[in-house]
Structure 1
Amino acid sequence: MAQFLQVDRVFTGTEFLNNVTLKIEQGKITELGHDSVESAQKLNGLLVPGFIDVQVNGGGGAFFNAEQTPSCLHKIAHSHGQFGSTVVMPTLITDSIEVMNKAADAIAQAINDKVPGVLGVHFEGPHLSLPKKGTHSEKFIRGISEAEFAVYARQDLGLKMVTLAPENVSVNDIKRLVDCGVKVCLGHTNADFDTAMAALDAGADGFTHLFNAMSAFTSREPGVVGAALWHNTSWCGLIVDGHHVHPASAKLAISTKSKGKIMLVTDAMPPVGTDDTEFDFFDGRTVIRTGDRLNSSTGELAGSVLDMASAVRNTVNTLDISLDEALRMASTYPAEYLGLEKSKGKIDVGFDADFVLLDNNQNALATYVLGNNITE
């Protein structure tokens, strides 16, 4: 049965339209026009493409590293759905092979069960650089082996991402990952420019949380940051929470990098959507929330309590980016990165009915996944 929505204002991903009527059938947008339909549900606000977050460790009190179950994934996706995310990539940070296998099983089950918003998995580690490990547990950082390849080669995990340090993973192994259908991101790396560029030549196409936990740009050694900004066709995730990246650095990256290649990410942790002030972490540590900042009890930044609606708002208010471009950074560009550009990231005929209704301050009022309001 067809569903009709009549909206004050719509941002399609390319332009703003007024007084739009959407027809939705079987989770797809089948008509986009201006004719009034008496049975249409009326929405007051700005309807924009659903946000797509490729780095989500937790939310709603749930932490993927602590519980590898479909119910945990549902809780994470649902909590971020309250803030406009219609697709999340649940992210498992550096852990044991046993936990990686359990995480893969949970992802496969969630995809099979069609848990809203879960389309794949992001393994952030364990093949990282010790000097740039950040808050990751040193005892689990290791080289790549056949045990991990068996996980990465699975065909029931949907979209697959792996963040690695290219100085610790050979070019041949990066090529092998790409051949397994994995999107390889460079992160938590102390590599030099040439090593990073060799990894990109081998098929890596992304950088995890640009500037954070990677070798810096300097005059005689451009480092991983230099490779990220120089390389035209790769994508960069950017955490715009006011803590991970200085606004001037973020502005410089956006103005330098090829347009459409910087996407907003949250690197979100369990407290998102809750009032929780701390949670248990690796090695007997605690992650402590102070306002909108998270730090491990040993001092390092430990992800964020950022949601995508706030990331959009911060991008507009602190980086002087136009609203339409900030919205593309949260939806259109990550959709393109994940290869979903023909189904998600825009409001248009033939696209999935994934969108979020925003108020004038970019607060999420309602979120729809395949035409279903998941915030009711």
Structure 2
Amino acid sequence: MPSKVRDGCIYQYKNCKILWNHSLVEEDLWVREGKILNPEKLFFDEQAYADVQIDCKGCIIAPGYIDVQINGAFGIDFTETEDISAGLKKVSHGLLEHGVTSYCPTIITSPKQTYHRTIPKVKRCNGSKNGAGILGLHLEGPFINKMKKGAHNPDNIQSFPNGFSDVVDVYGDLNNVAMVTLAPELERSGEVIHELCKRGIKVSLGHSSADLVTGETAVNNGACMITHLFNAMVSYHHRDPHLIGVLTSTHIDQGRSLYYGLIADGIHTHPSALRVAHRIFTKGLVLVTDAISAMGLPTGEHWLGHQKIEVNGKRATIAGTDTLCGSIAKLDYCVRNLLKNTECGEVIALECATLHPAQMLGITDKKGTLDYGTDADFVILDPALNVMATYIAGEQVWDSGLIQGL
């Protein structure tokens, strides 16, 4: 593949299986000027053919992965770094190796000044050879329940007794925000959810002790996601299933869509829990890493916010405790791990990192599919779903070097 895409050049990726319409089909993928082409219109309307053909040697082509919850990686903590621009640049570039072409940098529960310093500087942008694109910030807190704080600093947790005005006061500028995680049991949460949704911001429910009815009410008010299912919430109980029970609720208004994040890192969620979630509500499953600054770093001591953490193997905990504080898994590993532990099949495993997060964010017209006219952000995978190459806007931005000629 040429190092730079030529203007107007038509690229044909052949000898591959592409993720198309919920199936892996033996079809060619056609790309021009950063977009997926409809080959029928190309042949019959334009009577045009490929300028460059790329033999994929039997590999799989899937949309680029989307991670909607990542706190940092490669030594960068989005919450604490003073130079957020440099931090984003480093993480964005590092994610390409793992097939991630778009993501939501996540800021955990913080004091007001952190939000006011950081939010205006994190601009939405498309990806490039320099790194994955940014879809907007995910603000995880500070409006959460202290009883389910997880690794969040309880001194920074807040409520909103004055409603949405408190949210604006804490966050300041909301223009660069794509998602907010909050606890729906907080007083006036209905008003806050409604106002966030009016501004096009997706609301996720998490770090919460909410009962089932409260969760259902929040979804009917506009919330569309549950943050890292099973983690930082009340466990399922047969008398009150709490937030987990919302996945099977019959009391959600018709037409409402619901998704849930799942950390399939082998640590946060037991394989049995992965299977339960997958079998109950496959179409809402969104793989997330919840990765922290220690992702991509060696075993030892690191930092998450102001808290010292310890990395030992696949586990990251608050130093001196057994409290998990995020994952160090990469999203491509989570895809393979979901496939291994649920036997869901390659299509579903891939859609949980592509189509489903794009649906949740409402961006399937551009991302998350290989539909005609969408952005040519895609990954080439071997049959075991290892990333062989990553493309953004039709340009190869990372290559494993294991397949010659791509």
TM-score (norm 1): 0.91
Residues 245 and 251 of structure 1, relative CA distance in 2, 3 Å threshold? same
SS in 2 for 1:177: helix
- Count of residues paired in the alignment: 371
Which residue pairs with 2:11 in the alignment? 4
Residues 66 and 350 of structure 1, relative CA distance in 2, 3 Å threshold? same
SS in 1 for 2:289: coil
Q: Is the 8 A contact 1:13 1:328 kept in 2?
A: no
Letter in 1 for 2:32: I
Alignment of 1:66 onto 2:80? yes
Q: From 85, 103, 106, give the equivalent of 1:88.
A: 103
Q: Structure 2 CA distance, aligned partners of 1:140 and 1:228?
A: 30
Q: Structure 2 CA distance, aligned partners of 1:205 and 1:365?
A: 33
Q: From 322, 344, 349, give the equivalent of 1:321.
A: 344
Q: What's the C-alpha RMSD, in Å, of the aligned pairs? A: 2.4
SS in 1 for 2:137: strand
Q: Structure 2 CA distance, aligned partners of 1:50 and 1:113?
A: 11
Q: Is the 8 A contact 2:293 2:304 kept in 1?
A: no
SS in 1 for 2:56: strand
Q: Structure 2 CA distance, aligned partners of 1:369 and 1:152?
A: 31
Q: Is the 8 A contact 1:7 1:47 kept in 2?
A: no
Report how far residue 65 of structure 1 moved. Answer: 1.0
Q: Counterparts in 2 of 1:259-274, with a 5 A limit?
A: 259-274=282-297
Q: From 230, 236, 243, give the equivalent of 2:260.
A: 236
C-alpha deviations, 1:146-202, integer Å up to 9, x for none?
353257684631x51000111124211221222222211100001111221221121
Report how far residue 19 of structure 1 moved. Answer: 5.8
Q: Is the 8 A contact 1:229 1:253 kept in 2?
A: no
Unaligned stretches of 5+ in structure 2? 1-6, 44-48, 400-406
Q: Structure 2 CA distance, aligned partners of 1:101 and 1:13?
A: 42
C-alpha deviations, 1:114-161, integer Å up to 9, x for none?
87411201000001111100010011001136353257684631x510
Q: Is the 8 A contact 2:127 2:392 kept in 1?
A: no
Alignment of 1:122 onto 2:116? no
Q: From 398, 401, 404, give the equivalent of 1:375.
A: 398
Q: From 341, 349, 363, give the equivalent of 2:372.
A: 349
Letter in 2 for 1:161: M
Q: Counterparts in 2 of 1:46-61, with a 5 A limit?
A: 46-61=60-75
Residues 365 and 37 of structure 1, relative CA distance in 2, 3 Å threshold? same
Larger Rg: 2
Report how far residue 32 of structure 1 moved. Answer: 4.5
Which residue pairs with 1:43 in the alignment? 56
Q: Structure 2 CA distance, aligned partners of 1:336 and 1:322?
A: 20
Q: From 194, 197, 201, give the equivalent of 2:216.
A: 197
Residues 239 and 85 of structure 1, relative CA distance in 2, 3 Å threshold? same
Unaligned stretches of 5+ in structure 1? none
Q: Is the 8 A contact 1:11 1:324 kept in 2?
A: no
Residues 18 and 201 of structure 1, relative CA distance in 2, 3 Å threshold? closer
Letter in 1 for 2:339: V
Alignment of 1:291 onto 2:309? no
Alignment of 1:142 onto 2:158? yes
Q: Structure 2 CA distance, aligned partners of 1:374 and 1:215?
A: 42
TM-score (norm 2): 0.85
Q: Percent identity?
A: 32
Residues 153 and 178 of structure 1, relative CA distance in 2, 3 Å threshold? farther
